[in-house]
Amino acid sequence: MLALAMVLASCRAETVRPPRPPPPAQEPSPALRYTITYVREPEPSLEVEVVRGSDAPREFLFTQEGGVRTVQAYSRTGEARVLQVEDRGISVPEDTRVLRYRYALETRRRGRWWNFSGGLKTGEDALLLAGRSWLIRPRVAEPGVRVELSVKGADALLPWQPGPDGQYHVSAEDLVDSGFQAFGGRRCQAQLQGAVLDIAILGTMTHVEDAQLCDWLRQRAEEVRYVRSRFPFPRISVSIYPVPGREDANVFGMVMWSSPPSVALLVGQDARLDALHRDWTALHELLHLTHPTFVPRAAWISEGLATYFTELVQARSGRMSAEAVWAEMIRGFRRGRAQAAGQTLQEMIDDSAPPGIYWVGAFFSLRLDVAIRRATHNARGLQDVLELLATQGSTSTVDAYGAAVDAVAGKPIFRALLEEDLHRPAFAGLEGLLEDLGVTPTPGGVTIQPARDSVLREALDGQKASRIQ
């Protein structure tokens, strides 16, 4: 702004000579400059070079263990040293100017594939990888430590947006979880109101065009606004990986909490468009963006919220009837109850075993939503809690979640509801709650009829009784 004002002033003063362009902004050089090169021969690898600027940290860490064993450190005079990675970390000598290491992708195909540590490679020279398995970062992740990062050898889609110079300008903090990363493949963008999805397509679907895939994702992302007033991030990245030999729309979906978050969706390569449109996985993953991350991890809240709203949103958007959605939710609750086999909510939280933890969390979400609506004469609901939490930062705790529930309800309800559920068999009270809402399970699904809390049920699923008869 200041530079612009000076240029304008010089325009007025100097009528003879054309004005000189403003000097380039003098950004201080970054503490760390990363160059990542995707090499294919003799084996697919990532070669990483990190140049340390002045005041660069000396302590480095790999977020995930076991990916890299040694790192070469070069002093300012060119002397090379091999540093062994111990306890995920290295400490470099003070005069270290450059770090180099190689991450061989094929040899990392071990452990659980959903760690994405070896990368999922398609026959089309495209790769889906988790950054935390291979990208070294400062041990102390201070937001003030500036990092510049560039990628060579493949077109990459990282969680961050490159600057006009093609480089990524991030902070050490951004490298703690460097999210899902796509190398190669094709790109498209889904434009939403006030947000954009940058999408990597890492293979070719047999029955679905790229444009249809992107439009499908756009539609699912639009549905997030049935829960939050706006899409929770101005931009996120999504990688779609078509799994060969599969026809089902939903093979796997996952969000990584990079900043901003990044999503991977594994879809059957032979899936048809109508199967994608019937599936709920993409919606579920995108709905995870509506809540903060809970520290320590609380899957019964985060998975509960995503599972609960996945069902409701499909009715709110009109993609499914209210009956179908309630029938699905009850099927899930019964699955959870069968898994619980008499365990309390506390015991299920301790086990944290899917899918029961998802469904017991969804049931508690329903209990909270109904309680908030009863307390506020149906003026507010659980989604207002998410809206409130979004103003409080990207992470939260169980206590802060409870406080937000109480604030939205206008009175303390969270602790009493939780205490009641923690020590009795999970899903206790389900039948009574459904009866209050006017939802009656039948052998073939459910029927919906007028009941004490019909008006709350209409607010939850968004469908008036007149529409569903």
Q: What is the C-alpha to C-alpha distance for residues 459 and 463, in angstroms, rounded to an integer?
A: 7
Q: Which is nearer to Zn ion, 174 or 279 (CB)?
A: 279
Q: Which is nearer to Zn ion, 355 or 445 (CB)?
A: 355
241: Cα within 13 Å, side-chain hemisphere: 27
Least Å from the CB of residue 239 to Zn ion: 17
Q: What is the C-alpha to C-alpha distance for residues 400 and 392, in angstroms, rounded to an integer?
A: 9
Least Å from the CB of residue 209 to Zn ion: 28
Least Å from the CB of residue 402 to Zn ion: 21
Q: What is the C-alpha to C-alpha distance for residues 98 and 75, in angstroms, rounded to an integer?
A: 7
Residues making contact with Zn ion (CB under 5 A) = 303, 306
Q: What is the C-alpha to C-alpha distance for residues 155 and 125, in angstroms, rounded to an integer?
A: 11
- The answer to whether the peptide bond before residue 162 is cis (omega within 30 degrees of 0) is no
Nearest to 167, CA basis, from 183, 153, 148: 148
Least Å from the CB of residue 253 to Zn ion: 8
Q: Which is nearer to Zn ion, 221 or 306 (CB)?
A: 306
Q: Which is nearer to Zn ion, 83 or 306 (CB)?
A: 306
Least Å from the CB of residue 439 to Zn ion: 24
Residues contacting residue 47 through CB under 8 Å, at least 6 positions apart: 36, 37, 39, 100, 101, 102, 103
Q: Which is nearer to Zn ion, 34 or 116 (CB)?
A: 116
Q: Which is nearer to Zn ion, 99 or 357 (CB)?
A: 357
Cβ atoms of 452 and 432 within 8 Å: the answer is no
Q: Which residue's CB atom is positioned nearest to Zn ion?
A: 306
Least Å from the CB of residue 284 to Zn ion: 5
- Quote helix, strand, coil % in the chain, to nearest 5: 35, 25, 40
How many Cβ atoms are within 10 Å of 406's Cβ, its own excluded?
17
